[in-house]
Structure 1
Amino acid sequence: MLAITMALVSGCRPAAPAPLTLFAAASLTDAVTELAAKFQAEGRGALRTVFAGSGELARQLLAGAPADLVVLADDLWMGRLAREGAIRAASQVTLLTNSLVVIAPSDRPVAPFSWDGRVAIGDPESVPAGRYAREMLQRSGVWDTVSANLILAGDVRAVRAFVARGEVDLGIVYRSDTLGFDAARVVNVPVAAVQPDIAYPAALTATAAREAGTLMAFLRSEAAGVLFTRHGFGPGR
């Protein structure tokens, strides 16, 4: 009788909610991985994270990939998602901001900065960091010089990897990508006048589970803001 009773009770338990899925730009990998662990450790629910370039994530969503919340490094791609009904436009917020820096391999001798040599950036046609880099180089008046020696990468973390391996002389990445990364060092910080406006929009997807609102609130919390700051991101707006 006890075994039967236990079986009946077990059979009546409500099923656990399916894990939430968060799509996030590659530059958010370290911060969001840490926040995802905290989210789950606090018993807020299971969370699956997917990291890639913003353009790649947006294309996956447009193709029907399942996700509950998306954070991109690009307003343009988020705007396309809104126009095509892939997100709940009313839920969109600017979660974070960022800026660009120029890095070189840590083992290279320190020398006066110049744009000589091979320079890695994200592909401007699909990677927001690459488009921002192109904009910065154009504003700086060096695009025509640098573009002849560009190496294009699939996302900003790939740019960082090219630099760390010494396959290029310079790379243009987000400031947040340099914190705690010893294989590359910052050799130039572009002045504010040439810095692009870098925003990280976040939104619930059109198919988001009801619990996804809790995840959005968590990412916008004061505690998450402290962690994002520690990882080099600026506040949203």
Structure 2
Amino acid sequence: MQFCTNRPLVAVAVLCAALAAPVRVAAEDILVFAAASLKTALDQVAPEFEDVTGFQVIVSYAASSVLARQIHLGAPADLYISANAAWMDYLEETGSIDPASRVDLFGNKLVLVGNAQTAAEQAITPDFNLSDRLQGGYLAMALIGAVPAGLYGKAALESLGLWESVQDRVAQADNVRAALALVATGAAPLGVVYRTDARADPRVGIVGVFPSTSHPPIVYPAALTVAARPAAEQFLAYLQDDAVVEIFLEQGFTLPGG
């Protein structure tokens, strides 16, 4: 994990890690590049698809920005699932995906999380004193200049007039799950993540929910790459099956536009 901040925060050093080595993919495998926030849900549904079809689904999780750049540079992904439309647009414009296969799968909510023992959910408004609630600590966020969760988070804080008071106290992580880990381990008192991430770790709880009007709509588009193997089309269709969609909804995702 890359950690960026205006001041050192030694407590998070143990969370830093290099990108995983490239995986070997057999001809009958399906390689999915997916936004980190999808990990809990995809880890549940992928084995079920494997049991039914016999294909093996290999999922590489990272920030949507990192994965999109890797696909553009020739990474052998079959299916890309982003946490925002912009990085999918980038791959469409560069001819890296099949635009006819593109579909918006899910939506999400943006939340502020803290320690599960002290969290008390409330609406976040311009009167929310975020700076004081940090108590001298840092606000964990995914990279605010590239990663969707960071982009959404900064937009929301700016919209509510809260950004200026905390911009010098932001601890940036490579992806939203890394930001979540900073809060879960106590390295940061608060963090901005998706609602689904908050539900994925019992050590954190939701402190506040950002109004959907405070940031661009959160959407998860998916598309086959131009080099996708035929089985990938089956997995993309599987993700749109009613029973599979219900699993995602149970984990806190929403329908597109919801």
What do the CA deviations read for 1:52-73 (whole angstroms, capped 9, x no partner)? 1100100110111001111010
Alpha carbons 2:121, 2:208 under 8 Å: kept: no
SS in 2 for 1:85: coil
1:216 aligns with 2:226: no
Aligned length: 222
Q: Tell me the TM-score normalized by structure 2.
A: 0.81
Amino acid at match of 1:210: P
Amino acid at match of 1:223: A
SS in 1 for 2:199: coil
Q: Which residue of 2 aligns with 1:10?
A: none
Q: Which residue of 1 aligns with 2:44?
A: 34
Q: Which residue of 2 aligns with 1:3?
A: none
Counterpart Cα distance in 2 of 1:111 and 1:173: 14
- Structure 1 stretch 119-128 or stretch 154-163: which is displaced more? 119-128
SS in 2 for 1:95: strand
Deviation at residue 41 of structure 1 after TM alignment: 1.3
Q: List alignment gaps of at least 5 residues for structure 1.
A: 1-15
Q: List alignment gaps of at least 5 residues for structure 2.
A: 1-25, 123-127
Q: Which residue of 2 aligns with 1:230?
A: 250
Q: Which residue of 2 aligns with 1:54?
A: 64
Structure showing greater Rg: 1
What do the CA deviations read for 1:147-167 (whole angstroms, capped 9, x no partner)? 111110100001110001111
Q: Which residue of 2 aligns with 1:148?
A: 168
Counterpart Cα distance in 2 of 1:46 and 1:111: 40
Q: Which residue of 2 aligns with 1:82?
A: 92
Alpha carbons 2:120, 2:206 under 8 Å: kept: no
Which of 72, 76, 91 is residue 66 of structure 1 equivalent to? Answer: 76
Deviation at residue 44 of structure 1 after TM alignment: 4.5
Alpha carbons 2:183, 2:189 under 8 Å: kept: yes
Alpha carbons 2:119, 2:206 under 8 Å: kept: no
- Structure 1 stretch 110-119 or stretch 205-214: which is displaced more? 110-119
Amino acid at match of 1:213: E
Counterpart Cα distance in 2 of 1:149 and 1:31: 31
Cα 1:213/1:149, change in 2 over 3 Å: same
Deviation at residue 91 of structure 1 after TM alignment: 1.0
The share of aligned pairs that are identical, in percent, is: 35
Q: Tell me the TM-score normalized by structure 1.
A: 0.88
SS in 1 for 2:80: strand
Counterpart Cα distance in 1 of 2:200 and 2:66: 26
What do the CA deviations read for 1:96-129 (whole angstroms, capped 9, x no partner)? 1011000012245869963122211111122110
